[in-house]
């Protein structure tokens, strides 16, 4: 009874908070053009988190499958949009950034080379995540058939990557599934489950703790540090690498070469340190490093130099934060 009441109250608080954030988003949308998209994204991330929570908590088995299917389909069309706008793990990192900003602490950059290396190397990391259990199984076979079967299921061929995809998502959304237990406290954290499942208790816990510390502290100083090599991001991106799907992505950033002054703003504001938007001369930006968060488009100070396009239609274009009179823009020569 009491638990239920508390649960309801908590739910109400969460909903009220989200509602307030929504109102704030509308106000900000009108007033502060230099951060309205970022804030909207923040709200969507929060709403996404709450929505996912309910989806997972209500009926664990079936919705999970649906989510996976929907996600799989959406990814084909939207690329890493998920990383930029929904991923709960990314949300944690963004919250950290907000805190850091509020404390007026400057962020650090990963060296460019390392960033690119991580980006390219993330398939290795993905492979490691996939192969680690197999290797461990070979080295140290499971004690009984039941657990062997379980592991076999986990590893089952092509479905395993999507378990990896879902991994960063589940613990923040459904806290009790986290496996990093310190004392009595369940520290739910992405990927920790994988680490502790396949590695013996103590080293596993130590490794898990180290992982948590590195990513948490790292993300405080380096924006979206995990996204640079996230296996989930890699899985998503790999979907778009198939030739058959090349034409499919509907959501992308488009750059107008003549309107770009090479001012470098897009490069500096990108939380993933993507260079391509700055360096590519024009046209569709091709990089799976970009998570389509739209920060660069929001901050680019020149009208229409950068655009986010959905199915070849512009949904959002640059220079919003220095908008001049609308009238004069619409004027055409007669």
At closest approach, how far in Å is the CB of 329 from other proteins?
Answer: 6
135, interface contact from ligand SF4, other proteins, none, CB < 5-8 Å by kind: none
277 interface partner picked from other proteins, ligand SF4, none, CB below 5 to 8 A per type:
ligand SF4
Question: Comparing C-alpha atoms, which of 272, 220, 190 is closest to residue 93?
Answer: 220
How big is the site for other proteins, counted in residues (CB under 8 A)? 32
CB of residue 139 to ligand SF4, shortest distance in Å: 39
Query: Considering the rule CB under 6 A, would residue 286 count as an interface residue with ligand SF4?
Result: no
Surface-to-core class of residue 155, CB atoms within 10 Å of its CB (0-12 exposed, 13-18 middle, 19+ buried): middle
Q: Report in angstroms how near the CB of residue 102 gets to other proteins at its nearest.
A: 10
Chain mean position to CA 293: 9
- Residue 256 CA from chain centroid, whole number: 27
| Binding to ligand SF4, residues 289-328 (CB under 6 A) | 290-296, 300, 302, 305-306, 318
Alpha-helical segments (H) within the chain: 2-31, 36-58, 61-78, 81-85, 88-102, 112-139, 145-155, 160-166, 170-173, 192-198, 201-221, 231-241, 265-269, 276-279, 295-299, 326-330
CB-based contact 284:312 (threshold 8 Å): no
Query: Does residue 32 interact with other proteins by CB under 8 A?
Result: no
Using CB under 8 A as the binding rule, whether residue 301 contacts other proteins is answered as yes
CB of 315 to other proteins, least distance (A): 21
Which does residue 65 bind out of ligand SF4, other proteins, none, counting CB within 5 to 8 angstroms by kind? none
Please return the burial class of 295, using the count of CB atoms within 10 Å of its CB with bins 0-12, 13-18 and 19+.
buried
83 binds, among ligand SF4, other proteins, none (CB under 5 to 8 A by kind): none
Residue 187 per-residue DSSP state: E
| Shortest CB 80 distance to ligand SF4, Å | 8
Candidate ranges 50-58, 271-279, 309-317, 326-334; the one touching ligand SF4 (CB under 6 A): 271-279
3 in contact with other proteins (CB under 8 A): no
Q: Can residue 258 be called a binding residue for ligand SF4 (CB under 6 A)?
A: no
Is 236 an interacting residue with respect to ligand SF4 (CB under 6 A)?
no
Within residues 261-280, the interface with other proteins by CB under 8 A covers 261-265, 268-269
CA distance 209 to 192: 8
Q: If contact means CB under 5 to 8 A according to the sort of partner, which of other proteins, ligand SF4, none does residue 40 touch?
A: none
The yes or no reply on residue 95 touching other proteins (CB under 8 A) is: no
Interface with other proteins includes 332 (CB under 8 A)? yes
For residue 157, with 0-12 CB atoms within 10 Å meaning exposed, 13-18 middle and 19 or more buried, which class applies?
exposed
The tokens for 132 are: 């680690």
- Residue among 79, 240, 270, 307 that touches ligand SF4 (CB under 6 A): 270
Q: In whole angstroms, give the CA distance from residue 176 to residue 173.
A: 9
Q: What is the dihedral of CA 118, 93, 203, 129, to 10 degrees?
A: -40
User: For helices 112-139 and 145-155, what crossing angle results, to 10°?
Assistant: 150
The contact set with ligand SF4 (CB under 6 A) reads: 253, 255, 260-266, 270, 272, 274, 277-278, 290-296, 300, 302, 305-306, 318
The contact set with other proteins (CB under 8 A) reads: 34, 101, 104-107, 112, 257-265, 268-269, 299-301, 322-325, 327-329, 331-334
């Amino acid at each position: 009874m009491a638990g239920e009441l508390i649960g309801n109250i908590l739910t109400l608080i969460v909903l009220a908070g989200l509602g307030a954030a929504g109102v704030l988003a509308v106000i900000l949308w009108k007033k502060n053009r230099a951060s309205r998209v970022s804030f909207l994204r923040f709200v969507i991330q929060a709403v996404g988190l709450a929505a996912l929570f309910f989806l997972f908590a209500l009926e664990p088995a079936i919705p999970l499958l649906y989510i996976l299917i929907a996600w799989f389909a959406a990814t084909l069309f939207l690329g890493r949009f998920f990383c930029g706008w929904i991923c709960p793990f990314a949300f944690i990192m963004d919250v950290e950034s907000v805190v850091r900003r509020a404390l007026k602490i400057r962020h650090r950059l990963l060296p460019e080379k390392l960033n690119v290396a991580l980006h390219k190397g993330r398939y290795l990391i993905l492979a490691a995540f996939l192969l680690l259990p197999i290797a461990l199984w070979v080295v140290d076979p499971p004690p009984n058939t039941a657990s062997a079967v379980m592991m076999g299921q986990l590893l089952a061929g092509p479905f395993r990557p999507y378990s990896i995809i879902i991994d960063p998502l589940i613990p923040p959304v459904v806290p009790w599934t986290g496996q990093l237990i310190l004392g009595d406290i369940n520290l739910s954290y992405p990927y920790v489950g994988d680490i502790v499942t396949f590695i013996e208790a103590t080293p596993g816990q130590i490794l898990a703790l180290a992982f948590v510390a590195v990513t948490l502290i790292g993300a405080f100083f380096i924006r979206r540090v995990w996204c640079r090599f996230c296996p989930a991001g890699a899985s998503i991106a790999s979907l778009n690498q198939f030739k058959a799907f090349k034409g499919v992505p509907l959501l992308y950033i488009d750059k107008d070469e003549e309107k770009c002054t090479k001012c470098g703003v897009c490069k500096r504001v990108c939380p993933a340190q993507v260079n391509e938007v700055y360096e590519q001369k024009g046209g569709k930006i091709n990089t799976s490093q970009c998570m389509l968060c739209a920060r660069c488009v929001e901050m680019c100070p020149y009208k229409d130099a950068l655009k986010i396009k959905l199915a070849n239609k512009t949904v959002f274009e640059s220079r919003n934060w220095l908008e001049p009179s609308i009238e004069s823009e619409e004027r055409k020569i007669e």
